[in-house]
Amino acid sequence: MRWKESLCIATLLLVAMVTVTEARVPGKLMVVNRVRRDVNTTMATTPAPDGSLLDPNGPHVCTRRITESRTVRETYRQPYTTLTTRCIYFLCFQQPKTAYRQAYRSVVKSTIVTKRACCPGYYQEGDSCEPSCYMCVHGTCTAPDVCTCEEGYVGQQCRCDGQHYGSNCELSCDCENGGTCGGDDSQCFCPPGYSGDRCENQCPEGTYGASCDNRCTCENGVCDHVTGECQCNDGYTGPRCNEACEDPNGCLQCPCLNGGTCDGNGACVCAAGFKVCL
C-alpha cells in the first residue's frame, strides 16, 4: 500500500508543476498559444489636394494653409488577465496575472497642409486661373467682375442699350419721354414723372416722382410732376404754398429759370454760371 501512496504523492507534485495559461475574454475562456508580433500599420488614403494641377508660379495662383483630418489604424499593447493554476497536494488555486498583447485601434490625426488655389475673383480652369464675372454673356471677362462688351452692348453685364432689346439687340424700343427698355423684352421703364406702357403719360395731378407714387403736399398751388416742387397760385408763397403774401396786392410767381431768384419787383437774379435766366 505504501508504494501506492508514494505514487499518488508523486503524481500530485507533477500536477503542481504544470502551469496552464488562460486568457479571460468577455463571454468565453480561451487559451493563449502565441501572440503575433507584426507591427504593420494601415493609413487612410486621401484624395489629391485641390489645385494640384496649378503652376505655383502662375498668375493669380495663391496658397492657403488648411487643417486636414484623417483616420489612422495603429497598433497598441492591450492588457488582459491570465490565470495560472497551481496545485499543492490536493489544494489547487488560480493566480491572476496581467499580460499584454498586440491589438489595433482607429485614431483621428490632424495635419496642416499647404494647398494651391486660385486667388479671390478667379476660378480654376484646367491648370490656370481665369477671372470670374457675373452674367457676362455678350462680352469677355477680362478681370474680376469686369466685362468687356461686344459691339452693341453696354453696361457692367454687357446688356442692350436702353433703346434696343432682343438676343442680339436688333429690336428697337418705342418708349417715350426718356423711357428705356430692358435687354430681354420691350417693356418700358419710365423716368420719374411719367407712366404708361410707353411712358406716354405725365403723372396725374396731385402725384409726382417715380411711378407717380408720391403725393403732392402743395396747399395753394400745383406740384411739378417730376420733382414735386410746388408752383404757388397768385397770393401765396412758401415751400408748400401755405403762406399768404405780405403785399396787399398779392404776389406773383417768380418767372426766373435755371435756379434764378427775383426781387420784389420781379427782376431775376441769375444763379452762378448763368447770364440769362428769364
User: Residue 51: pLDDT above 90?
Assistant: no
Name the range with the highest mean pLDDT among 3-12, 83-92, 104-113, 166-175.
104-113
Q: Give the pLDDT confidence score for residue 123 in this predicted structure.
A: 93
DSSP-derived pairing of the beta strands 164-165 and 171-172: antiparallel
The one-letter code for the residue type at 78 is Q
Cell of 48: 489629391
Q: How confident is the model at residue 20 (pLDDT cuts 50, 70, 90)?
A: very low
User: Residue 226: pLDDT above 80?
Assistant: yes
User: Residue 30: pLDDT above 60?
Assistant: no
User: Residue 273: pLDDT above 50?
Assistant: yes
Name the range with the highest mean pLDDT among 171-175, 260-264, 274-278.
171-175
Coil/strand/helix, residue 260: coil
Q: How confident is the model at residue 38 (pLDDT cuts 50, 70, 90)?
A: very low
Q: How confident is the model at residue 9 (pLDDT cuts 50, 70, 90)?
A: very low
Q: Give the pLDDT confidence score for residue 198 in this predicted structure.
A: 92
Neighbouring C-beta atoms of residue 215, cutoff 10 Å? 11
User: Residue 236: pLDDT above 90?
Assistant: no
Cell of 214: 408720391
Computed on alpha carbons and rounded to an integer, the radius of gyration of the chain in Å comes to: 48
Cβ–Cβ under 8 Å, residues 88 and 17: no
The alpha carbon of 189 is separated from its chain's Cα centroid by a whole number of angstroms, namely 32
Q: What number of helices (H) and strands (E) belong to the chain?
A: 1, 24
Average model confidence (pLDDT) across the chain: 78
CA 169, 173, 177 angle in degrees (round to 5)?
140
Dump pLDDT digits (tens) for 250-267. Answer: 566 677 887 787 776 677
Q: How confident is the model at residue 183 (pLDDT cuts 50, 70, 90)?
A: low
Q: Give the pLDDT confidence score for residue 265 in this predicted structure.
A: 66
Span 16-35, average pLDDT: 37
User: Residue 4: pLDDT above 90?
Assistant: no
CA distance 49 to 75: 28
Dump pLDDT digits (tens) for 188-211. Answer: 999 999 999 999 999 999 999 999
Q: Which of the two residues, 41 and 129, has the higher pLDDT score?
A: 129
Provide the H-helix boundaries in the chain.
2-16
Q: How confident is the model at residue 11 (pLDDT cuts 50, 70, 90)?
A: very low
CA 262, 265, 266 angle in degrees (round to 5)?
40
